[in-house]
């Protein structure tokens, strides 16, 4: 896990979430341990993971995340359309 992408200003909402989507794609093995949980990313950094969406978001906001990207990691038995 690394810090925010260098081209992203912390004061400006991202125009796209390509950085986060690419992080998810590159870190599928890491994400396996979060199956069935909501994760919160900002840039290339994972801030929170929790079975409850509200709790994951709350934890990330507490850590200073301004523009959270939230993703639910599918269980093995689920067949995600986008993946």
Confidence of residue 36 (pLDDT cuts 50, 70, 90): very high
Q: Is the pLDDT of residue 12 over 90?
A: no
Q: Looking at the whole model, is its pTM more than 0.85?
A: no
Give every CB contact of residue 19 below 8 A, 6+ residues apart in sequence.
Answer: 5, 8, 43, 44
Sort 5 into a burial class: Cβ within 10 Å, 0-12 / 13-18 / 19+. middle
Mean pLDDT, to the nearest integer, of 24-46? 94
Query: With the C-alpha atoms ordered 48, 53, 54, 55, is the resulting torsion angle positive or negative?
Result: negative
Q: Is the pLDDT of residue 5 over 70?
A: no
Confidence of residue 80 (pLDDT cuts 50, 70, 90): low
């Amino acid at each position: 896990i690394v810090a925010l992408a260098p081209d992203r200003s912390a004061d400006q909402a991202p125009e796209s979430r390509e950085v986060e989507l690419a992080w998810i794609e590159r870190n599928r093995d890491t994400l396996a341990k979060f199956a069935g949980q909501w994760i919160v990313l900002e840039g290339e950094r994972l801030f929170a993971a929790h079975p409850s969406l509200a709790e994951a978001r709350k934890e990330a906001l507490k850590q200073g995340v301004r523009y959270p990207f939230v993703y639910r990691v599918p269980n093995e038995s689920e067949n995600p359309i986008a993946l």
